[in-house]
Amino acid sequence: MSHILTDLSDGILTLSLNRPEKLNAITSAMYLDLVAGLRSASADIGIRVVVLRAEGANFTAGNDINDFMTAANLDMDAPGFQFIRAIHEFEKPLIAVVQGRAVGIGTTALLHCDLVFAHPSASFSMPFVTLGLVPEAGSSFLFADLVGHQKAAEVFFSGESFDAHAAMKMGLVSSIGENADEQATAFAAKIALQPPTAIVNTKALLKSRSHDAVSAVIQAEAQLFSRALQSDEARDAFMRFLSRKG
């Protein structure tokens, strides 16, 4: 059974993370399903907008740590990096709905979304440094661009989480509400009725200042990230997580 649910209605493709028993931690197979979903949305003229959301109380606890543990010499074709490139290159509107925890890629993916609807329970964290890793998905550029160097350094260096209100102040989420899912669907329905070429061109213009720079940063981060995955700092952190209940 796939841990990614897809639903297509009225030009809106909804991709839902569906592994709530593991807080929607994302495995390689899930990344590949997400990439396939985004590719099908690009290719299908009838799909006007994609909504990324999750089942259960949490958006996602980030990359599956078991997969980090077994990863070796990742190149840009590794599933996680394929997903990062796919959201960076996705040319149609991408809307996210976040509730509960958004850890790691759960937060950095939002930097590639056009709108983010947050439930009041949403909390965000990018604990890469705490895990002996480095930021990914262009976040070392995009997050610093959003909040400034010092705030970005505070968040990355500490690995601490911040709540929906802080995220909204930063510009990482566009609205907060108990009915974030419904609000996202209503907004997606509105854009699905707009002229599609004008929407795609407008998104491209909004990203034109940063697109190529972000592509280069994604590559540079990926090299450091792959190396860091093999480091003692990271291996010790993964082992601490995996053995914490035993």
Least Cβ distance, residue 192 to ligand COA (angstroms): 33
Crossing angle of helices 211-229 and 232-242, in 10° steps, is 80
Least Cβ distance, residue 72 to ligand COA (angstroms): 17
Give whichever of 216 and 241 is closer to ligand COA, judged by the CB atom. Answer: 241
Contact between 110 and 165 under an 8 Å Cβ cutoff? The reply is no
Give whichever of 12 and 65 is closer to ligand COA, judged by the CB atom. Answer: 65
Least Cβ distance, residue 221 to ligand COA (angstroms): 12
For residue 54, give Cα distances in angstroms to 12, 81, 201, 213, 235: 16, 20, 28, 30, 28
Residue 20 burial (CB count, 10 A): 15
Distance, in Å, from the CA atom of 174 to the CA atom of 88, rounded to the nearest integer, reads 19
Give whichever of 12 and 98 is closer to ligand COA, judged by the CB atom. Answer: 98
Least Cβ distance, residue 169 to ligand COA (angstroms): 23
What residues contact residue 22 under an 8 Å CB cut-off, 6+ apart?
61, 64
DSSP E strands, the chain: 4-9, 12-17, 49-54, 94-98, 101-103, 115-118, 123-125, 162-163, 175-176
Residue with CB nearest ligand COA? 104
Give whichever of 34 and 131 is closer to ligand COA, judged by the CB atom. Answer: 131
Give whichever of 12 and 142 is closer to ligand COA, judged by the CB atom. Answer: 142
The β-bridge partners of 103 are 125
Give whichever of 211 and 241 is closer to ligand COA, judged by the CB atom. Answer: 241
Least Cβ distance, residue 133 to ligand COA (angstroms): 6
Least Cβ distance, residue 61 to ligand COA (angstroms): 3
Q: Where do contacts with ligand COA occur on this chain (CB under 6 A)?
A: 22-23, 25, 61-66, 101, 103-104, 127-128, 131, 241, 245
